[in-house]
Amino acid sequence: MQEILFISHSTPEDNEFCIWLASRLEMLGYKVWIDLKNLYGGERSWQKIQQAIKESAKVLLVYSKYIIDDGEIKQSIDDELRYARSFAESRKLKDFIIPLHLDESPYDLVIGLPNINHIQFNESWTSGLSHLKNLSPVITLSSPCHHPVIRNVNCIAVNGHGTATGEEMTVILHWQLCCSSKVITIINS
């Protein structure tokens, strides 16, 4: 059964967004495949990518200006899209590729994608994630994630101007699998 969300993106330009997205999806209980976490130096990467696409419920294409290089779609993105389209057609899978529109780039960067509904992440990553979560009836969640929650913790927050503030906040700790770093999500209580 396909239950992975495969994230196709331009490396390194869209890495920050992909790490953010993968960590949020994993916290929600989705299994995520991302090259930053699943590919290592010296490996035959194309076989691993093909296998991951075969095991995927959806391919999420991070659609940004960076998928184009010198007027052409980057080879790695093109290869992943071609393989995903071929796999979806052979299995008669509908809506297999979902573009995540990250910036103000035009809808016609990639042939065949203007006629596929894009999920908008260009105004707000959080808003885009909310729309993407509507896929959950179509995608099987892995076992629910339980994250330790510490309520009413005094934290030193830094606002957008670099000024430190002390606020009562809820802190959710989650070990992010991408890049083996710790993620701390802070939500105002």
Q: Is residue 69 part of a domain?
A: yes
Side-chain-facing half-sphere of 131: CA atoms under 13 Å: 16
Domain assignment present for 142: no
pLDDT digit string, tens, across residues 3-61: 899 999 998 999 999 999 999 999 988 899 999 888 888 777 999 999 999 999 999 99
pLDDT band at residue 109 under the 50/70/90 scheme: confident
Domain span holding position 171: 149-188
Whether 171 is covered by a domain: the verdict is: yes
The residue-averaged pLDDT of 67-71 equals 92
* CA–CA separation, 32 and 35 (whole Å): 10
**Domain annotation covers residue 143:** no
The predicted model scores a pTM of 0.73
CATH number of 8's domain = 3.40.50.10140
Confidence of residue 165 (pLDDT cuts 50, 70, 90): low
My answer on whether 179 and 91 are in the same domain is no
Instruction: Let me know whether 96 and 174 are in one domain.
Output: no
Which helix (H) or strand (E) segment holds residue 83: the answer is helix 75-91
| Shared domain check, 23 and 76 | yes
What per-residue confidence (pLDDT) applies to 40? 84
Cβ atoms 121, 137 nearer than 8 A: no
- Classify residue 77: in a domain, yes or no: yes
Q: Indicate if 166 and 125 belong to the same structural domain.
A: no
Total tally of structural domains belonging to the chain: 2
Pairing of strands 164-175, 182-188: antiparallel
Amino acid at 174: H
